[in-house]
Amino acid sequence: MSQFEHPDRLRPEREVTVDDVRQLMGASTPHFALQLRERIRRLIRGLPADHPARVEGEREIARLESIAFHGEVRGTPEQPGMRTLASVDDAA
């Protein structure tokens, strides 16, 4: 995933909406979480703290950071052959 953003979404005169944030969130997986976080961060930059799109964006940024660092889980000890990878679990 690139850092490319749809040009219309970042026009200064265009009002950022919650739907804009949700469109970016739709593709959120651990693999792309940090790239999406940056795109959302850029989108909501400059919005007032109480703006609905900023509130939604900050909530999504927190979720993306969580899945980026803790998102890959490969089973439990009860599931043989499905060990959690060491890269996402210090105990593995």
Average pLDDT for consecutive 10-residue bins of the chain (92 residues)? 60 82 77 88 93 95 87 62 61 53
**Residue 55: its pLDDT value, please?**
96
| Count: domains in the chain | 1
**Residue 77: its pLDDT value, please?**
62
**Residue 86: its pLDDT value, please?**
62
Query: Which two structure tokens, joined as six digits, stand for 46?
Result: 């400059």
What is the span of the domain harbouring residue 76? 1-92
**Residue 33: its pLDDT value, please?**
87
**Residue 54: its pLDDT value, please?**
96
Look up residue 88 and give its amino acid: V
Query: Which two structure tokens, joined as six digits, stand for 91?
Result: 């105990």
Measured CA to CA, the distance from residue 68 to residue 61 in angstroms comes to 10
Q: Which residue is listed with tokens 């679990």?
A: 89
Run of H or E including 50 = none
Measured CA to CA, the distance from residue 9 to residue 39 in angstroms comes to 11
